[in-house]
Copies of this chain bind each other. A is one copy, B any other.
Amino acid sequence: MKSKQVNGTAVDLGTEAKIKEAAKKVFLKKGYDGTKTRDIADEAGVNLALVNYYFRSKEKLFNEVFDESAFAVARAINSIFDSDLPLEVKIYKLTEQFTELFLGQPDIPLFTVYEANRNADKMYEQVGLKDRTKSGIFEKQLEDEAAKGNIRPITRMHLEIVLVGLLSFPFMSRPVLAVNGIAGKEAFEKFVREHQKIVPEMVMTYLRKLD
What residues of chain A have their CB less than 8 Å away from a CB belonging to chain B? 30-31, 33-34, 110, 113-114, 116-118, 120, 123-124, 127-128, 131, 154, 157-158, 161-162, 164-166, 168-170, 172-180, 182, 191, 194-195, 198, 201-203, 205-206, 209
Contact = CB atoms under 8 A, between A and B. Distances in A.
Contact of A31 (B33, B172, B173): B33
Contact of A158 (B113, B161, B198): B198
A173 B113 contact: yes
Contacts of A31: 31, 33, 114, 118
Contact of A166 (B110, B166, B175, B201): B166
Contacts of A120: 174-175, 178
Nearest to A31: B33
Contacts of A174: 117, 120
A166 B154 CA distance: 16
A69 to B, nearest CB: 14
Contact of A117 (B127, B172, B198): B172
Contacts of A172: 113, 117
A26 to B, nearest CB: 13
A158 B198 CA distance: 9
Nearest to A73: B176
Contacts of A166: 162, 165-166, 169
A169 B168 contact: yes
Q: Could you say which of A31, A162, A166, A175 has the most chain B C-beta atoms within 10 Å of its C-beta?
A: A175
